[in-house]
Structure 1
Amino acid sequence: MRVVVAGATGLIGTALLPLLQARGHHVTALVRDESKTVSADTVVADALDPAAVRDALLAARPDVVVHQLTALRQMSAEAFETTARLRTEGTANLITAAREAGAAKLVVQSISFATAPLGDPVLSEDAPLYLDAPDPGWSRTVQAVAEMERLVLGTPDIAGTILRYGTLFGAQTQYDPAGPFGAVIRRGQLPIPSTATGVTSFLHVQDAALAALSAVDSDVTGVFNIADDEPAEGATWLPEYARLLGGPPPRPIPSDLAEKVLGWFANYQLTAMRGARTDRARTELGWKPTVSWRHGLASG
């Protein structure tokens, strides 16, 4: 098949290109910066420029478009806002261009931890999203995710597969041991709320790419959680991550002070977030994780 990967120079896109090529697909990378080198044919377009996206996809004539677009190399308010626009405006542009270019399928990156903190500690794809989160930045993120998924699944003549990735770990992610977050943990500078029962479902970058490969090759459509097999409470994974990095155990702080010290999202992740059930991906996509956070979180 002819496959266009939008976001081909990102962490998952970079891992995905060789997997698609090894499977025998003709792969075209949609890139914004033509100076970046990729191991595939390239077309150049800013995903927020509808005319450029249209020209790029008409040139590539894909059967499948894989949407891995984010701007999260820098964890800043501006990057999150740009990512929200990529998930809404960028997705709409890709869909319009994909229809005109004759594509039959969209495979789109989403997030599993956008679910509302209600019910069981580990939730399926049917759980409601946290659209009314009290933090404006997170509310904006989740609303953009919801709009992206609505656009993809609501396009009548193109099949849509949504991959809701767990919290990514591996080289160049936030959890890279060589990165700034690892240094903070190693120095014992990140405290932990006294009640840290929030659940994180982690996912290695390579397993995310393997899930996208499975989705490209499968006739199955719909929404799929993609994460490892060991959803873990903050009280479990953060002390273990510190131990693996050779740091001291995180210093406990009273839960009523945690949000002020940690910030809204970090406190939410450690105290209230829900994990992701992956049964549907296993049974319908035939995908399963190969790396657990316990064995890979500290090794990059």
Structure 2
Amino acid sequence: MKIFIAGASGAIGRHLVPQLVARGHAVVGSTRSAAKVDALRALGAEPVVVDALDPDSVAGAVARAEPEVVVHQLTALSGPADFRHVARMAAATDRLRTEGTDHLLAAARAIGARRVVAQSNAMWMERTGGPAADESVRIEPHPPADAARSVAALRHLEDAVTGIAWGAGIALRYGGFYGPGTGISAEPDAVMAGYVRGRRFPIVGGGGGVWSLVHIVDAASATVAAIERGTPGIYHVADDEPAPVRVFLPELARALGAKPPRRVPAWLARLVAGEGAVSLMTRARGISSGKIKKELGWTPRYPTWRTGFAEGLR
């Protein structure tokens, strides 16, 4: 198929493009940076520079590509993390999940694309219920005030993509990424790994927030499955072991050769990072990926983060 990937130079795009090319697909990959054009070409994509917040730029690029499938992997999460200003840090990605989504959908509809696959995430599943949510669970309807804009942006993306009537709209709720090219890897410039090594990523309160994780290579292979044979709706993409922060974070520190994480009380973290960050560390729910395994035959290379941390960070 001819596939247009918006945000192809991002963490998942760098693994998704070569997997699609290896399976015989023709890929046009967009980036907002001309400096990344050569890297995209080396991965096997036809590169194009696009401003995702400019509807004319998006429409022109998609029209020239004439893809059968449009893939939305747009974020603005690279660079240093600023936990003292979480909402400000997320603002650019929020716009890509609202305005950027709308521009891509309009462009895809105009050229008759038959499928759209978009990146959502599973960090804001509704905070009531068991530790692992399936696809019937909604995004948290009453998030903390400092996370409300970002949660609303996720909701907008999912509703807009899965609501299209002219093609198959698929939203992928990924677990937290780790592995090469992400913030959690053995690479020296991996941002979150640097925080773990510096003991600046603490366990907050009791560390009871349950996170689902997924190796970036597995996230890409799940995306390939959705592109090739997914049906309209939502799929969860994560490994088989949702775990509380207090369980996986010390193991991550050990895998990175770091000292154990510090512990800080929730009230202090709330003062420094806000209520949204505290909710993620203390109240988050994991996800179950049974649907994508059953319907699309997806099997992760790293079925648990324990193996992934030991073998897959490099």
Q: Which residue of 1 aligns with 2:54?
A: 49
1:70-85, aligned counterparts within 5 Å? 70-74=75-79, 75-76=81-82, 77-85=87-95
Q: Deviations over 1:195-231 (max 9, x none)?
A: 2211010011111111111111104221001001111
**CA–CA distance in 1 between the matches of 2:14 and 2:297?**
22
- 1:168 equivalent among 177, 191, 207: 177
**CA–CA distance in 2 between the matches of 1:249 and 1:15?**
30
Aligned residue type for 2:58: V
Shift in Å, 1:66: 0.7
1:297 alignment partner, SS class: helix
Contact 1:161 1:221 in 2 (8 A): yes
Give identity over the alignment, percent: 40
Q: Which residue of 2 aligns with 1:101?
A: 111
2:5 alignment partner, SS class: strand
RMSD between aligned residues: 2.0
**CA–CA distance in 2 between the matches of 1:227 and 1:237?**
14
Which ranges of structure 2 fall in alignment gaps of 5 or more residues? none
**CA–CA distance in 2 between the matches of 1:15 and 1:216?**
14
1:42 alignment partner, SS class: strand
Length, aligned pairs only: 299
1:46–1:187 distance in 2 versus 1, CA, 3 Å: closer
- 1:297 equivalent among 290, 296, 309: 309
**CA–CA distance in 1 between the matches of 2:7 and 2:109?**
19
2:294 alignment partner, SS class: helix
State the TM-score, normalized to the length of structure 2. Answer: 0.88
Contact 1:220 1:285 in 2 (8 A): no
1:104–1:189 distance in 2 versus 1, CA, 3 Å: closer
Q: Which residue of 2 aligns with 1:148?
A: 157
1:5-84, aligned counterparts within 5 Å? 5-36=5-36, 37=38, 38=40, 39-74=44-79, 75-76=81-82, 77-84=87-94
1:144–1:190 distance in 2 versus 1, CA, 3 Å: closer
Q: Which residue of 1 aligns with 2:125?
A: 115
Shift in Å, 1:255: 4.2
Contact 2:205 2:282 in 1 (8 A): no
Shift in Å, 1:7: 0.5
1:248 alignment partner, SS class: coil
1:134–1:210 distance in 2 versus 1, CA, 3 Å: same
1:223–1:190 distance in 2 versus 1, CA, 3 Å: closer
Which ranges of structure 1 fall in alignment gaps of 5 or more residues? none
- 1:240 equivalent among 251, 258, 283: 251
1:180–1:86 distance in 2 versus 1, CA, 3 Å: closer
